[in-house]
Amino acid sequence: MRNLKIIAGMALLAACQQTPVLIVDNSLPIDVEETPIVISRSAIEAKLQLTEGEFPVVMKGAELFPQQLDDLDGDGEWDEIALIAPTQANTPVQLELNKTEEYPVFDQRTSVYLGIDYQRSDNFIEKDSEVRSPENIAMKYPMMYQMEGPAWENDKVGFRLYFDSRNGKDIFGKTTAEMVLSRAGTKKQNYHELDDWGMDVLKVGNSLGAGAIAMLHADTLVPLRNTASGEYETLIEGPVRTIFEVRQKGWDTPLGSIDVTERISIWAGQYGYQEELITDIDGIKWVSGIVNKHSKEMIEGQTDGTKYIYTYDEQSENKDYMGMGLVVNKDSFLLSTQAPDSAAAVTETFYTVTNEGKFYFVAGWELTDPMFETQEGFSKVMEQQAQIFGNPIEVK
């Protein structure tokens, strides 16, 4: 795990000097209370001189934004600052840079957790990496993985991935902002029933569930399942952003055996997660989808830079209202349609096809927030998440 955890407490070192300012372009056409922003180390160091033992912090006046230093390449040195800050529509963001020898500690608002019990004794141990092979898949040993695989969450919603031959994705509806999934999935807690933190709200079956992956080849969906092996690794886990990878080896496809890395990230304050697919094979028509077991209407929308689909219905496993959506970049969009209801590798799914392996999946459950009690409330969140996905704020 590569994010840098530094001691609590902070004494600013540049208080007596003129504070450097970084002006960040912002093409978001809407006001956003908590916008994800990524700033590279080179952009920081072009404005702020750091000596050994000093770390940058990003502020506006006396306000210290929630942020973290991330080491993406695993060399022990930070590469980026990930932060969330309020932004106004089409208005540049002004960020003040300071430095400290004692990095601040922020509330933990994102997390990923893989609990493993090789003895199946209900005594799970958290692991930051794991190799899955045909001898230890969760379908053979259902109690080995605490939630059948890694589960990731933020202060709004949670998800999980079946770390076995199914490679499906599921949703944990949350009723608390706390990080809680590490205690789900034991014999003492049935996450299919409503608890004080929430519950598993989705029935996946043979669908693409909550954003599972496939390819489209000759009008046939080929799901990313039954790979020869898989590797899980936590890359970053911090208060603002969490990133992990699942490296699928030996995917049997009409194009031959393919290795694919699923890189999944989740930010604080958002109602979804982003997936990026990494492979050496060109020309794949990538697919991601939404289970439609309890909603037969696929609603389509777009922003200047994105296309999206969503459903809204009384479709949670708790028999209440929930919306689910899927966003892709407009330039890479090919089509959105519905899978067969039976006799196919993927069924009961609305899906989108794109020639870019990048998606954003959105979920809003009415017990999480009253705004999701109506389709109008979910559609507003859906559009905002599409705008954020389509207008990323990154300073290279």
pLDDT in tens, 322-377: 999 999 999 999 999 999 888 899 999 999 999 999 999 999 999 999 999 999 99
Domain contains 250:
yes
Q: Which are the contacts of 101, defined by CB distance < 8 A and separation ≥ 6?
A: 11, 13, 53, 54, 55
> Cα(344)–Cα(259) distance, rounded to whole angstroms?
23
119 pLDDT band, cuts 50/70/90, is confident
- 29 touches 115 (CB < 8 A): no
Which residues is 161 bridged to in the sheet?
169
Show the CA angle centred on residue 233, arms to residues 40 and 134, nearest 5°: 150
Q: Residue 15's pLDDT is what?
A: 47
Average confidence (pLDDT) over 184-201: 92
- Does residue 326 lie within any of the structural domains? yes
**Domain stop point among 66, 100, 134:** 100
- DSSP assignments along 279-299, one per residue: -S--S--EEEEEE-TT----E
Within this chain, do residues 163 and 231 fall inside the same structural domain, yes or no? yes
Mean pLDDT of all residues in 47-56? 95
Rg (CA), the chain: 21
Q: Are residues 192 and 260 in the same domain?
A: yes
**pLDDT tens digits, 307-325:** 999 999 999 999 999 999 9
Domain identity same for 166 and 306: yes
Kindly state whether residue 368 falls inside one of the protein's structural domains. yes
Return d(Cα 92, Cα 154) in angstroms, integer.
27
CB 145 within 8 A of CB 119: no
The domain boundary, picked from 48, 69, 100, lies at 100
Q: Is residue 6 part of a domain?
A: no
pLDDT greater than 90 at residue 175: yes
233/86 same-domain check: no
pLDDT at residue 137 is higher than 70: no
* Last-in-domain residue among 77, 100, 123: 100
Q: pLDDT value at position 120?
A: 80
> 322 and 375: one domain?
yes
Residues 232, 161: Cα–Cα separation, whole Å = 11
The confidence band for 146, taking pLDDT boundaries of 50, 70 and 90, is very high
- Give me the pLDDT at residue 6, please: 42
Residue 310, domain member (yes or no)? yes
- Are 286 and 221 in contact by the 8 Å Cβ rule? The answer is no
Range of the domain at 306: 110-395
Q: Do both 175 and 238 map to the same domain?
A: yes
In a domain, 273, yes or no: yes
Residue 361 within a domain: yes
List, in order, residues 6 or more apart from 207 with CB less than 8 Å away: 168, 289, 290, 291, 292, 293, 339, 346, 347, 348, 349
Give the strands of the sheet with 393-395, arranged side by side: 67-70, 80-87, 32-40, 393-395
Give how many domains the chain has, as a whole number: 2
Q: 392: pLDDT confidence band, cut at 50, 70 and 90?
A: very high
60-74 per-position pLDDT tens digit: 998 999 999 999 999
Q: How far is CA 73 from CA 163, 235, 236, 385, in A?
A: 24, 9, 10, 28
Mean pLDDT is lowest, of 123-127, 184-188, 191-195, 383-387, for: 184-188
DSSP 92: P
Q: Is the pTM of this model over 0.85?
A: yes
What are the tokens at 38?
């990524």
Q: What string of H, E and C letters represents the secondary structure of 322-344?
A: EEEEEEEEHHHEEEEEECCCCCC
pLDDT digits (tens, 9 = 90+) for 210-244: 999 999 999 999 999 999 999 999 999 999 999 99
CA 166 – CA 365 distance, rounded (Å): 25
Residues 67 and 176 in one domain: no
Residue 211 CA, chain-centre distance (Å), reads 10
Residues 138 and 46 grouped into a single domain: no
Are 69 and 167 members of one domain? no
- More reliable by pLDDT, 278 or 188: 278
Whichever domain contains 67, its CATH number is 2.60.40
Residues 46 and 79 in one domain: yes
